[in-house]
Structure 1
Amino acid sequence: MDMKDRAQGAIVGAFIGDALALGPHWYYDLDEQYKDYGEWITTYKNPKKGRYHEHEKAGNQSQAGYILKLMIKSILDNNGYKQEDFCKKLDEDLFKKLDGTPTNGPGGYTSQSIREVYRQRVEQKLSWEEVGSRADTTEAIERTLALAVKYALTPQKLAKSISFNTFLTQVDDVVGSMSVAYGAVLAQLIQGEKLDKDISNKLMKLVKNGDLPFHAVTSDNLQPPKPGSKDPSNVGLFASPDALLSPSYMAQAANDNDIKIEPAWKVSLVYGMPCAIYHILPASYYLAARFKDDFESGILNALNGGGQNQARSILTGALIGAQVGLKNIPKRFIDGLNEKDEILELTKKLSDIIE
């Protein structure tokens, strides 16, 4: 498996996760989910009347997938991240299709952070430098994972582009740090590293080398700082490296025989069903570590956990896709995407310009 195949697996895995959850999205009452879709969902489903995305069809992308495509197109148009171009695409290709209400726009539903920025840009006429929301979701990760692919080999560019893009719609520093951390993990997997207990040590080496902008005062393996060592903190760094440390703990839990989460979809109950980033990321890291070589099992356990299963499936799909590669994603999941040809074409082109 080469890096291009892993990169394509990450992107296609994200699109698959998005489309799989389009129908059974946001069921917090699992009995209701079972009534509508049975006890185990295995494929793309039409949304039910009165639910989120009700006018969409099985295999379609939600607005998260729509925006991810805009991000990839912007990267391809500019051979890299150009914030002005991405903002222009949001203004012209997305905001003109919104009205500021939740159940509207491409994919049938518009997230909290996008709605807020829409109001600021369209109704309040604010500049892009003035907009942003306090939403604590994974909304930015769902599009910036494409930047993690583009800059998989250049962590400084990865961190800069993801943080700048995240803060367009989400201005919380913790959300920013966790979004950059996810991108850094995904980049490691695209390079061929493993999602295991050592992943955080590899990320911390990038911090020590000045490649990732996180504050850290400890020496190697989180040992106390050496006598006389300087405080490395300065303006612009994320306050702590904790977002980089979390993935190792989730990976250890996934591979510890004394820790049982059975069936695996109940990870959503352990870490939480809601939309906040601190619920979604731990569950995604856990599932991606547990099913590192089994895309189908990982994505279906992310999907069937209820709640914000769309974000969980997108992020899990990208992480496992990066580990198994495009060639090891079951063909039925790819064939079921209604935008299959466009997605595969965009994904191939993006994998050709990794730096």
Structure 2
Amino acid sequence: MPTSFEDRAAGALLGAFIGDALGLGPHWYYKLADLRRDYGPWITDYTDPKPGRYHAGLKAGQLSQAGLILQLLLRSVVDCGGYDEADFCRRLDDDLFPQLDGTPMHGPGGYTSQSIREAWRRRVQQGLPWSQAGGHADTTEAIERTLALAVRYALQPHRLADAVAGNTRLTQTDDTVVAMTVAYAAVLGLLVQGERLDTGLSGKLVALSKSGALPFHTVTSGQLDVPHSGEAEPSRAGKFASPDALLTPSYMAAAAADPDIRIEPAWKVSIVYGMPCAIYHLLPAVYYLAARFHDDFESAVLHAINGGGQNQARAILTGALVGAQCGLAGIPRRFVDGLENSAQLEALAIKLASQIGESKPLREA
């Protein structure tokens, strides 16, 4: 269905929140038999976490800590009119960190992720500045919050890359993780613009890199063709080692479209690419689901959830990509209505969508 720019932007954000809340109950079941035992053959809606599980005590439709941190960054961007790193860091210091104790099973949202625990230790226990707070977690935790920046700067890929890379390094410093995080953000930015996650999307991303809008190293010409004789290598500070993170989305889209490659049922994408938390397991599955179900939000997020493992992150990231493609209007209303504080979250998403065309300089902590 036709969607407006603002509808796609709001759809991306609400899609992420919905994916987070859908994962609250069935999060991190690595034995699928146990998942089916506790939640039946097919999860269709928000569910309560079982006693003794990761988010025990919370209720169906509530956000995990990942969703709460996304909301924290989203509110900072809306209040400041753009990304203000110092403001976001202050909110983490004042609003989140006092509720943590450095252990996994403690804190708002029922579970505190590795990268946030490491940042808490460096900031609170060791008193280090934010420039030294990042650790080496190889997860998608930065993507789960910086998708708000991808939406905000969807029309400004260079600023998108700067903001997302800087925010990622607050908690995760591995260059490959940063590159893959920025690549996801660039994909989401193009989808908010109205592109579709298809076999041609990576070419558009590589073109942005060649133009200098995205900080990825490129040597080949065209679609990975031989470099032209005598062509100078681009020289830009801070470029990532290769454009490979930009190529993954279209390879996954090709797999989803190829009649000779079928993952049936689609939730088994988690088995094909892996159930663990690492970014290199999650992103291929996310891109596959977002390409295959580009206009079917419900199927996309439910297949993400029913695959088990790190299904919450899988659903957050899939929900954002498909929400951007189908728009807020394409998200079944029951998912919005069942989300706790949905009116507030929807208003925040719409407000950020209205700010996208505005310009505000980036500021550092």
Q: TM-score, normalised by structure 1?
A: 0.99
Tell me the residue number matched to 2:42. 40
Of 188, 203, 206 in structure 2, the residue corresponding to residue 204 of structure 1 is 206
Tell me the residue number matched to 1:5. 7
Q: What SS class does the counterpart of residue 204 from structure 2 fall into?
A: helix
Tell me the residue number matched to 2:276. 274
Letter in 1 for 2:189: A
In the TM superposition, residue 260 of structure 1 has moved relative to its aligned partner by 1.0
Tell me the residue number matched to 1:336. 338
Of 212, 215, 225 in structure 2, the residue corresponding to residue 213 of structure 1 is 215
Tell me the residue number matched to 2:196. 194
In the TM superposition, residue 76 of structure 1 has moved relative to its aligned partner by 1.1
Tell me the residue number matched to 1:103. 105
> How far apart in 1 are the matches of 2:316 and 2:26?
14
Letter in 1 for 2:151: V
Aligned-residue identity in percent: 63
Mapping of residues 42-57 of structure 1, within 5 Å: 42-57=44-59
Tell me the residue number matched to 1:301. 303
Q: What SS class does the counterpart of residue 223 from structure 2 fall into?
A: helix
> How far apart in 2 are the matches of 1:190 and 1:234?
27
Taking only aligned residues, the RMSD between alpha carbons, in angstroms, comes to 0.7
In the TM superposition, residue 233 of structure 1 has moved relative to its aligned partner by 4.1
**Cα contact 2:217–2:243 (8 A) shared by 1:** yes
Tell me the residue number matched to 1:314. 316
Mapping of residues 221-300 of structure 1, within 5 Å: 221-300=223-302
In the TM superposition, residue 208 of structure 1 has moved relative to its aligned partner by 1.0
Mapping of residues 27-106 of structure 1, within 5 Å: 27-106=29-108
Tell me the residue number matched to 1:129. 131
> How far apart in 2 are the matches of 1:327 and 1:285?
21
Q: What SS class does the counterpart of residue 313 from structure 2 fall into?
A: helix
Tell me the residue number matched to 1:157. 159
1:20-52, Cα deviation, whole Å (9 max, x unpaired):
000000000000001100010000000000000
**Cα contact 1:153–1:187 (8 A) shared by 2:** yes
1:52-79, Cα deviation, whole Å (9 max, x unpaired):
0001100000000100011011111211
In the TM superposition, residue 129 of structure 1 has moved relative to its aligned partner by 1.1
> How far apart in 2 are the matches of 1:110 and 1:104?
6
Q: What SS class does the counterpart of residue 169 from structure 1 fall into?
A: coil
**Cα contact 2:70–2:145 (8 A) shared by 1:** yes
Letter in 1 for 2:264: E
**Cα contact 2:103–2:112 (8 A) shared by 1:** yes
Q: TM-score, normalised by structure 2?
A: 0.96
In the TM superposition, residue 234 of structure 1 has moved relative to its aligned partner by 4.2
In the TM superposition, residue 222 of structure 1 has moved relative to its aligned partner by 1.2
Q: What SS class does the counterpart of residue 90 from structure 1 fall into?
A: helix
Aligned residue pairs, count: 355
> How far apart in 2 are the matches of 1:322 and 1:192?
8
Of 112, 119, 133 in structure 2, the residue corresponding to residue 117 of structure 1 is 119
**Cα contact 2:215–2:236 (8 A) shared by 1:** no
Letter in 1 for 2:63: Q
Letter in 1 for 2:239: L
> How far apart in 2 are the matches of 1:19 and 1:79?
27
Letter in 2 for 1:134: H
Runs of 4+ aligned residues of structure 1 deviating over 6 Å after TM superposition are none
Mapping of residues 169-184 of structure 1, within 5 Å: 169-184=171-186
Of 9, 17, 20 in structure 1, the residue corresponding to residue 19 of structure 2 is 17
In the TM superposition, residue 235 of structure 1 has moved relative to its aligned partner by 3.5
> How far apart in 2 are the matches of 1:347 and 1:234?
34
> How far apart in 1 are the matches of 2:259 and 2:235?
39
**Cα contact 1:216–1:233 (8 A) shared by 2:** no
Is the counterpart of residue 147 in structure 1 residue 140 in structure 2? no
In the TM superposition, residue 178 of structure 1 has moved relative to its aligned partner by 0.4
Tell me the residue number matched to 1:347. 349
> How far apart in 2 are the matches of 1:293 and 1:348?
21
Q: What SS class does the counterpart of residue 222 from structure 1 fall into?
A: coil
Letter in 2 for 1:350: L
Q: What SS class does the counterpart of residue 275 from structure 1 fall into?
A: coil
> How far apart in 1 are the matches of 2:91 and 2:21?
22
1:94-128, Cα deviation, whole Å (9 max, x unpaired):
00111111011110000000000001000011111
| Unpaired runs of at least 5, structure 2 | 358-365
